[in-house]
Structure formats: structure tokens, C-alpha cells
């Protein structure tokens, strides 16, 4: 079972991200009904606002769906392949990869099925762009990846220091 831990863990995280993403998007479309409709969870701070994003993050490159689908497909396939062949043991690294892939799959489902991505999380307090659970997963995954790389660098430096002092 330990041999398959990385696969089971990765696919569980990915499935959780995709499920949460698709359920929140389904809620948004069913409850908010039309584009621009908003539900004020915490007035002036956090709203759910129905947006159809035909571009990438923050709406850049609007109506260039094929670019995002191509890049996303390549990234998702590469992450899947890496996890399948390398089976990384580090849980932090595995979590980062799984969050990024899960978020990519969540938005890919929208791009293929709808031609756009449903966004709904609207942080009014800082007047930020509207985003979704998949976007959160990708950003958190990238943050976790940076954390992993920093910790790995510290481990390497510590190991070198101990090796040079022991010699």
C-alpha cells in the first residue's frame, strides 16, 4: 500500500479540488442565475458574483480559449506523468502538484463544456478580480511549491554545512 500512497493521495486531493470547484460553480449558476448577479455573504467584504471568464486569470487574452486549453492540457499531463513515474514521497511537494493539477482540471472542465470558466468568489474589500475554487487551488499549490523549494534549499544547505564540518 505504501508503494501506491503518492498515487492515492494525489488523486484524492485532485478529486477533492475538482469536486469542490464544480459544486461551487453549479451552485453559482443555479442560484445566481444570470451573469453579474451577486450574493453578499459579508457585505462590502465577500460576495459571490456570477462571472463568465473567457480569458485567463484576470480576464487576460479573452477569447483565446485554445491557448489555455493547450497549456493546461500539457501541464496537467506532465504533472500526472511525473506523479505516476516518479511517485514523489515528499507530501508537501505532492500536495503542491496535486492542487495545481486539480485546479487545472476544474477549469478545463468549464472551458471544454461551456467555452468559458465560471468565476464567483468576489473579494470586495480589496476590489480584486473574481475567481473560483480551481483558481484558489492553483495559487495555493504554487505557494506550497515555493515553500517546498525554500525548505528543500535550507535542508541542502544544512546538509552541506554538516558535511563540510565533519570532514
Contact 146, 85 (CB under 8 A): no
Q: Angle 5-32/91-113 helices, nearest 10 degrees?
A: 40
The span from the first CA to the last CA of the chain, in angstroms, equals 40
Q: Are 137 and 102 in contact (CB under 8 A)?
A: yes
Closest among 154, 129, 112, 110 to 47, alpha carbons compared: 129
Clarify whether 119 is annotated catalytic.
yes
Q: Is 152 designated active site?
A: no
Find, among 101, 98, 104, 136, the residue nearest to 5 by Cα. Answer: 98
Q: Per the residue annotation, which of 21, 110, 119, 127 is the catalytic one?
A: 119
Active-site choice (63, 90, 127, 135): 135
Instruction: Report how far residue 100's alpha carbon sits from residue 96's, in angstroms, rounded to the nearest whole number.
Output: 6
Point out the residues that are catalytic: 119, 135
Amino acid at each position: 500500500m505504501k508503494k501506491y500512497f503518492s498515487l492515492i493521495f494525489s488523486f484524492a486531493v485532485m478529486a477533492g479540488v475538482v469536486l469542490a470547484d464544480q459544486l461551487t460553480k453549479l451552485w453559482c449558476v443555479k442560484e445566481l442565475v444570470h451573469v453579474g448577479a451577486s450574493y453578499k455573504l459579508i457585505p462590502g467584504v465577500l460576495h459571490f458574483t456570477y462571472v463568465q471568464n473567457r480569458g485567463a486569470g484576470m480576464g487576460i487574452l479573452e477569447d483565446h480559449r485554445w491557448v489555455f486549453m493547450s497549456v493546461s492540457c500539457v501541464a496537467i499531463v506532465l504533472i500526472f506523468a511525473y506523479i505516476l513515474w516518479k511517485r514523489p514521497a515528499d507530501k508537501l511537494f505532492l500536495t503542491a502538484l496535486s492542487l495545481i493539477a486539480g485546479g487545472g482540471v476544474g477549469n478545463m472542465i468549464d472551458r471544454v463544456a461551456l467555452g468559458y470558466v465560471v468565476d464567483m468568489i468576489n473579494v470586495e474589500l480589496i476590489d480584486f478580480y473574481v475567481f473560483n475554487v480551481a483558481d484558489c487551488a492553483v495559487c495555493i499549490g504554487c505557494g506550497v511549491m515555493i515553500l517546498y523549494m525554500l525548505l528543500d534549499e535550507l535542508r541542502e544547505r544544512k546538509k552541506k554545512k554538516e558535511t563540510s564540518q565533519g570532514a
